[in-house]
Amino acid sequence: MPRVLLIEDDPAVQKGVSLALRRRGHELEVAASGETGLLTLERFRPDLVLLDLMLPGMSGLEVCRRIRETMQLPIIILSARGDDIDLVVGLEAGADDYIVKPASGEVIEARMKAVLRRVVPQDPDVDPGRAGPAGQARPHGPEQHGDLALDRSALLVFKEGRELALAPSELKLLLFLSAAPGQVFSRQHLLEQVWEHSFYGDARLVDACVMRLRGKVEDDPRHPVYIQTVRGFGYRFGPVPRPDGGERPRQDER
């Protein structure tokens, strides 16, 4: 079972979450402050971090940013703050998901599984052959889209030969969209397929992840080539211009 680091200062929440996760077989460590959490991270090496925002000393947001500076470890914010601005700021800091407390053990477990599941979600509406030449299966090995090379088997993304450090949600979103270049997906559809939030929808997760992803894959995030907005509908991947310049991307409709 995944090893979980809970960074939380409220004893009642510590006890409730610990009981819920240990009953489900998780190995768990608890840190009561951000500073202690960062130290525990090095020693415990968890598979996922559950992170409170309102911590004594170093804030949860700062902890999230510091983890993201060096690690692409899945991070779920677990906070009593449910306002829009808190959620957006938390996601922009690099978190993969956001749970508002109080939350049941079932909800936390389900959201953890979704974040940890690194398999590219399968969409029955997507024709797998669309990622390659018409009528042919997707070729093995890295796919090339402009300056981006996507290796779906190894779950690696390169830009101009340099490996990109993508958080789990960013990687899943990029692989999902790029599996069907040019196809438009609504925010709700992406939320269900990438975050698996069939029971709770929040499009801000998608928008925040797109913003972070553009910052890593686009030359100019203000004029995206890869992750494009289709106003009133959602997002699509490309079309990406060919190296010979024969095909120009559609104008971004942000």
Long-range contacts, 229-234 (Cβ 8 Å, 24+): 229/253, 229/254, 230/184, 233/184, 233/186, 234/184, 234/185, 234/186, 234/187, 234/189, 234/190
Residues 154 and 105 in one domain: no
Asked whether residue 92 is assigned to any structural domain, the reply reads yes
Residues 114, 40: Cα–Cα separation, whole Å: 24
The one-letter amino acid code at 162 reads R
If one counts every other C-beta atom within 10 angstroms of the C-beta of residue 223, the result is 13
Phi and psi at 38, nearest 5°, equal -65, -40
Q: What is the pLDDT along the chain (254 residues), one digit of tens a residue?
A: 889 999 999 999 999 999 999 999 999 999 999 999 999 998 999 999 999 998 999 999 999 999 988 888 999 999 888 777 888 888 888 888 889 888 899 989 988 988 887 544 444 454 433 434 344 455 567 889 999 999 988 889 999 999 999 988 899 999 999 999 999 999 989 988 888 776 555 778 888 899 999 999 999 999 999 999 999 899 999 877 766 655 544 444 44
Asked whether residue 246 is assigned to any structural domain, the reply reads no
Asked whether residue 189 is assigned to any structural domain, the reply reads yes
Residues 139, 162: Cα–Cα separation, whole Å: 21
The one-letter amino acid code at 253 reads E
Residues 80 and 184 in one domain: no
Give the CATH number for residue 159.
1.10.10.10
DSSP state for residue 191 in the 8-state scheme? I
